[in-house]
Amino acid sequence: MGGGGQEIHSDPFSFPVRVYWEDTDAGGVVYHAQYLAFMERARSEWMRGLGLGQDLLRSRDDLVFVVRAMTTDFRAPARLDDQLQVSVRLLECRGASLVLVQRVERDGALLVEASVRIAALRASSFRPCPIPPALAASLALLVETA
């Protein structure tokens, strides 16, 4: 991948998350901002699973991916001690951005869904930049249809 010749596989990605006290309000319901943290962890693990850890991208390609925009639909609450699955699907890979869909589910029931636009930035300047061609080509193989 990205010069290393590593293959990227398009298996569906899902990351398990357990709900702890620190994730909830006084009623034991997950605080809305915690879903963003759960989704960030899942995106990071998805990238790491592709062989694209954030440290590697920063040191090798002077590249970081950051959230530029997010639309979130909260459908049902998660509660203390729930076991959740947070999924990541790549819908678009453009010159300098990605669009992902993320879902938070409990026992197959959808709790939260988000559309996430990710921007590519130079790590050294935090200015927008194109995704390196080899990386973009590899990520394009993962694009799914909605």
The pLDDT assigned to 4 comes to 44
CA end-to-end span of the chain:
25
Cα–Cα separations (whole angstroms), residue 29 to 39, 43, 78, 80? 17, 23, 6, 6
Q: Rounded to 5 degrees, what are φ and ψ at 120?
A: -95, 130
> What's the average pLDDT block by block, 10 residues per block, for the chain (146 residues)?
46 91 96 97 95 93 97 98 98 97 98 98 97 94 83
The pLDDT assigned to 6 comes to 46
The pLDDT assigned to 12 comes to 75
pLDDT in tens, 9-47: 456 799 999 999 999 999 999 999 999 999 999 999 999
Q: Which domains does the chain have, with CATH numbers?
A: 13-140 (3.10.129.10)
Distance separating alpha carbons of residues 135 and 131, to the nearest angstrom: 7
Q: Which residues are catalytic?
A: 25
The pLDDT assigned to 31 comes to 96
The pLDDT assigned to 10 comes to 52
Provide the b/e sequence for 77-88 (b: ≥16 CB within 10 Å): bbeeebebbbbb
Laid out side by side, the sheet with 13-18 consists of: 13-18, 83-93, 97-106, 109-122, 63-74
Asked if residues 128 and 119 have their Cβ atoms less than 8 Å apart, the reply is yes
Residues 6+ apart with CB under 8 A from 64: 54, 57, 58, 120, 121, 122, 123, 126
The pLDDT assigned to 146 comes to 57
Which residue's entry shows tokens 């300047």? 125
